[in-house]
Structure 1
Amino acid sequence: MIGPEIERLIQLLGKLPGLGPRSARRAALHLMKRRESLLVPLSEAMALAAEAIRTCEVCGNIDTRTPCTVCADPTRDRSTICVVEDAGDLWALERTRSYRGTYHVLGGTLSALQGVGPDDLNIASLVERARDGAVKEVILALNATVDGQTTAHVVTDRLAAADVTVSRLAHGVPVGGELDYLDDGTLTAALKARRPF
């Protein structure tokens, strides 16, 4: 009924979060109807982004340079590191404009079901950064899920040798919630009400 190029576009769109097969078909149709004003500029922007994307060598953030914009900012408070699961969580916290320290992206959470162990995450470089005498506090801003809490315990154990305070976000973050879906007010309140872990 449709050409293989369009079918591939629909299949790829269907892999995006929140888009099932029907939504992917609608999105593809919308893009095709607006070929010159939307589809072509979007494909060009995606090609440029694919070439420019870098993973920060310091914190693991996704940016177009390394060190990333956050790590390169001289006004950041280097005495705190906020640990997040992925770059989307970092971006969510940055939207609040309530945190001016540095970050560390783990690249996921521990998951026995998915075969993700401590060596699969960016934990070793966090411990190395935390041992720097300038770091005083590590804030665990992991999702309030079973995997997130398990990861928080393992990270806390690994940081025991470093001379840092380990805190976590307040319980204003709902259990089972994910940071990227929370409003800015909830994230700001959770950061301000953090406590030792």
Structure 2
Amino acid sequence: MSETNLFESKLELVRSHIRSFPDFPKKGIVFRDVCPILKNPAALAALTDLFEEHVRTSYQQVDLIVGLDARGFLFGPLLAQRLGLGFVLIRKKGKLPGSTTSVTFDLEYGQAEVEIQDDVVDPGQKVLIIDDLLATGGTLCAAWELLKQQQAEVLGCLVVIELLDLQGKNKVKPLPVFSLTHY
């Protein structure tokens, strides 16, 4: 099988394990659920393979993978382990011990706050941010801001799903965003 066919085969396996739930969490929204990927070892391996291939071909040096609360915690450690890298958490406010830095950001329905421990990223470290979904871009933008405050060099973002109509990619420009699937 050619590399292109293998890539497409893996991508189709990932896509086939994303479920859609209309009108959740409220009417008019279609929720894209990645949980079936986690239940299927082949789909999870394919997703991890696709992210790993992208990182290895697109970035000469990466020091850390940074995962966003909560689904970035599911995919990020697997990718970091494959790449031989460390993994760092960005969590909702009040969930991390020790000294932290936080950022407040706007959501479609209010505000949220995320934080990072102050001693987990060294100045100048090259990092990639990973999450399951890019919608409006608020969470990725907040993570980018936190990492800039840590003096990290954010190389880009990785997401399983990008909701194109919400144009979240515009919020994190000029950071490159690699999305496996688009809706």
TM-score under structure 1 normalisation? 0.35
TM-score under structure 2 normalisation? 0.37
Of Structure 1 and Structure 2, the greater helix share is in: 1
Larger Rg: 1
Of Structure 1 and Structure 2, the greater strand share is in: 2
